[in-house]
Amino acid sequence: MAHARLTVLATGGTIAGIAGSALAHDYRPGQIDIAEYLSRVKGLGLEAEFSGRQIANIGSEDIGPAVWTPLHSAIQDALADPGCTGVIVTHGTDTLEETAFLLDLTLPCAKPVVLVGAMRPADAVGYDGLRNFANAARVASDPDASGRGVLVVMGDRVFAARDVRKVRTRSTDAFRGYPRGSIGLVTPSALDWFGAPWRAGDAARFDYASDLPPVVILYAHADMDPDLARRIVGDDQRGIVVAGVGEGNLPDTVRSVLVERRRQGVAVVRASRVDEGLVDREPEDEPNGFVASRALNPQKARILLQLLLASGVSDPAEMQAAFDER
């Protein structure tokens, strides 16, 4: 393998978190800075060369365009640098899937971009952050990582950004890929890919937009109040993603609210609050002008809908094609 020169962009999270005691449950994410982190990484003796930059140092529940915009531009700078062979982004795990998918949709894929986090803070017994980082470095150093879009390494698994989702609140085995499962297995000494790269060409699928339009997620449940739903999907929203029950279903009274908003030009996507399973188009989607999220969960459907709206796409059929893509 050619010598890898990796740019590490740090945003915070538990991977840079400190509890103050090896056994404590509570801790503060985003405490170790990138210089300190890379000095700890040095002790691992990894083969790659690392250079680092701090983009933010926060818990990922606070991540949004104010971090995404400088992060996106720093990744683009790194990818354009002939001296950089790949990028690692350290990130909190709570919203890692959203950042990964946003980057996946808006970055070229000629060089590897890998997101990594940890479930335990850096001073905890059994800190998983250094192993995850060593695994991420192995993936980002592999030329075969290109052409698969943005990747996420957690535990000893590699996930595609489009598939990855956080499914456990505490376990170190907190991530799963749907529908593809993990696309590779990695340890600091071995990397196995399951299948070939699938992205045709290097180009980004969307232009990055720092002013993403407002899109709200409406969480469906039994005994839903349509008046409350009407207030949640207020006049200022350009799009609504429904975290529907079952296969993206809604009470009739709430569906009527959304049909009304759709007639006013608001985009509506039906996703599901269920962890796994496709949300397919149903016959009423055509007359209603609704879009089915297919394999995307509500939080990822929101990112895709925001990018579609930011690119000027308003036709539900064109939107549906983007949701159908892999």
| Residue the block writes with tokens 């990594």 | 116
User: Does 29 interact with ligand SIN (rule: CB under 6 A)?
Assistant: yes
3-state secondary structure of 178: coil
| Residue the block writes with tokens 């150093």 | 141
DSSP string of 207-220?
A: ---SSPPPEEEEE-
Q: Smallest gap, in angstroms, from Cβ of residue 260 to ligand SIN?
A: 36
Single-letter code of the amino acid located at 238? R
| Residue the block writes with tokens 């060089």 | 111
Rounded to an integer, what distance in angstroms lies between the CA atom of residue 287 and that of residue 76?
41
Are 159 and 177 in contact by the 8 Å Cβ rule? The answer is yes
Tokens of 318: 């064109």
Nearer to ligand SIN, 8 or 242 (CB): 8
DSSP string of 253-290?
A: HHHHHHHHHHHTT-EEEEEESSSSS-B---TTHHHHT-
Nearer to ligand SIN, 89 or 250 (CB): 89
- Per CB under 6 A, contacts with ligand SIN among 263-322 are none
Nearer to ligand SIN, 14 or 146 (CB): 14
Total residue length of the chain: 326
- Per CB under 6 A, contacts with ligand SIN among 89-148 are 92-94, 117, 119
| 14 tagged catalytic | yes
- Per CB under 6 A, contacts with ligand SIN among 180-239 are none
Rounded to an integer, what distance in angstroms lies between the CA atom of residue 149 and that of residue 266?
30
Q: Smallest gap, in angstroms, from Cβ of residue 29 to ligand SIN?
A: 4
Residues contacting ligand SIN: total by CB under 6 A: 10
Among 4, 8, 10, 14, which residue interacts with ligand SIN (rule: CB under 6 A)? 14
Tokens of 18: 């400190």
Nearer to ligand SIN, 99 or 182 (CB): 99
User: Does 60 interact with ligand SIN (rule: CB under 6 A)?
Assistant: yes
Which is catalytic among the residues 11, 14, 95, 106?
Answer: 14
Q: Which residue is nearest to ligand SIN (CB)?
A: 92
Among 52, 59, 129, 316, which residue interacts with ligand SIN (rule: CB under 6 A)? 59
User: Does 31 interact with ligand SIN (rule: CB under 6 A)?
Assistant: no
Rounded to an integer, what distance in angstroms lies between the CA atom of residue 323 and that of residue 310?
15
Stretch that binds ligand SIN, among 38-46, 66-74, 86-94, 281-289 (CB under 6 A): 86-94
Q: Which residues form the interface with ligand SIN (CB under 6 A)?
A: 13-14, 29, 59-60, 92-94, 117, 119
Catalytic residues: 14
